[in-house]
Amino acid sequence: MDHKYLLGIDLGTQSLKIGIYNEKGNLLLKESVSYPTFHSNRSLSEQNPDDWWNALKKALKRANNNINLSLIDGISVCATSSTVLMTDQNYQPIIPAQCWMDQRAVAEEEEINNNTNSIVKNRLLYSGQKTSIEWMTTKSLWLKHNYDLTNKFILEQLDWINYKLTGEVVASQCNATCKWNYVKQQNGFSEEFFNEIGLEGITKHWPNRILKVGEQVGTITETVAEELGLKAGTPVFQGGIDAHIGMIGSGSLEPGHLSMIMGTSFVHLMHHEQPIFNDALWGPYDSPLIENYWLLEGGQLSCGSLISWFLNEFYTDCTNLDEIYLELDEKIKEINAGSEGLIILDSWKGNRTPYKNPYASGAFIGLTLSHTKFHIYRAILESIAFGTKNVIQTFKNSSIPVNKIIAGGGGTKNASWMQIISDVTGLPIFIPKDQETGTKGTAIIAAYGIGLYSSIKEASEQMVEMERVFEPNWVNKEKYENAFEIYRELNTLLFPIMKKLNKGREEPHELCT
């Protein structure tokens, strides 16, 4: 086999990452370029699409210093979902993109979820019996309520980047199934459903072709080749949602394996051979990644972002993150499991699973004068671990076995955090050799796309290698049991108060600049 070069592109919440791999899955080069998210106290979270494209240009320019990009044989892209932008007829953005975590569409979410029409209820069965404030459908309804959509198009981040690369406007079956209420076995989109929720004709404003993961989107255009240093005609294959493509990149496609993608948020994904309906989970989604595999999803909205908050507040003037993390790691080892009675609720941007509550927010319970910033840091790590266990309990409530966790993303670099999650959940956590599972997953898709493997599943099995396993400390697990039950009780008790506080903060929406 001649050596092949595969380019994976991953657009995350805080940065764009690229990875160049060979046909065996070995990482040859990686680059990362950050871009900002603009937040406001009115629950808006926005990004400038030009920042994504400029980040890609910068990353590829750096890469070209080490590898001749004209040697790339195949490309695939994954991105956050649903980060939504509205464009003109030429697919040029006309307002800032709504980041997936944007909370402005809360009224539209309630409007859809409170609809008792049987057509609506039957379609929502395949998305956990609800829509989410984060999703394409809900955001599109907000845009329809606030803008004239005549001669306008609504795309996801992934769709726009693929368009910029190839000139083709298509959507991914992964995104459409998990965020756009697309159900393959029921002929895809339901115009009746959209009519009933006030989105009549919306599909005319969306990409009109849905491609499976791994199908060819198009090829790199002459103009883009010159701009990015790639070779014109290089094939681009359809990717999908970053966390979901991370299942491919972490080798966690089998039933019983929980894929946990650790980033700004956490996403928990599991395949199952039959559709399972549980209104506390998201799905079941019909074959978004692998044909005839149903996907169930859980998630936590605030994870890595809580650590970012902690660092911004307590280490404002420090620039050496390695030193900071070394100090934090040493200090929290001196604190017993349970952070000496300090419990933090982790839903700072709402709760995705199992409560599906957009009004949820954070809370510190049990804080005393004896607690230090190191207790707060450990309690943050524990709170996110409690949230993960809550998701796993929800899977188990539907008799879905969870045998092990396969983790990917930047959070896997924090060994203390990984051990805490293993202790809290009582499950082993496997860490792939390549922790950036988004770029790895898209590279695997590209390998399949150019014909190196007969299926995405085979490509994943051949190209992914595990590096480390964290086994639970059973003494600590017992200590965490009581704290976890208090954590769950606090969520139930405080949610009504959080909703009052959240509504009290509402003001007329303005777009960030």
In whole angstroms, what is the distance from residue 174 CA to residue 163 CA?
Answer: 17
Residue 469, Ramachandran bin (φ over 0: left; ψ between -120 and 50: alpha; else beta): beta
| pLDDT value of position 314 | 95
Write b or e for each residue in 132-142: b if 16 or more Cβ atoms lie within 10 A of its Cβ, otherwise e.
bbbbbbbbbbb
| pLDDT value of position 220 | 98
What is the torsion angle, in degrees rounded to the nearest 10, for the CA atoms of residue 363, residue 243, residue 170 and residue 48?
50
Which CA distances in Å does 389 have to 393, 401, 424, 427?
6, 14, 7, 10
What's the whole-model pTM score? 0.87
| pLDDT value of position 505 | 58
Q: Where are the domains of the chain?
A: 299-432+469-504
- DSSP notation for 477-509: HHHHHHHHHHHHHHHHHHHHHHHHHHHHT----
For 473, counting Cβ atoms within 10 Å of its Cβ (0-12 exposed, 13-18 middle, 19+ buried), the class is middle
Q: In this predicted model, what pLDDT tens digit does every residue of 36-52 receive, in sequence order?
A: 999 986 789 999 999 99
The length of the chain, given as a count of residues: 513
| CATH number given to 299-432+469-504 | 3.30.420.40
In whole angstroms, what is the distance from residue 158 CA to residue 241 CA?
Answer: 8
Of 332, 352, 348, which is closest to residue 340 (Cα–Cα)?
332
The helix/strand/coil state of 144 is: helix
Which one-letter amino acid corresponds to residue 296? L
| pLDDT value of position 507 | 46
**135 close to 113: Cβ distance less than 8 angstroms:** no
In whole angstroms, what is the distance from residue 28 CA to residue 66 CA?
Answer: 10
Which CA distances in Å does 123 have to 115, 181, 185, 282, 283?
12, 7, 12, 13, 11
DSSP 291: T
In whole angstroms, what is the distance from residue 119 CA to residue 195 CA?
Answer: 10
Residues of the chain predicted below pLDDT 50 = 507-513
| pLDDT value of position 410 | 84
Q: In this predicted model, what pLDDT tens digit does every residue of 155-208 receive, in sequence order?
A: 999 999 999 999 999 999 999 999 999 999 999 999 999 999 999 999 999 999
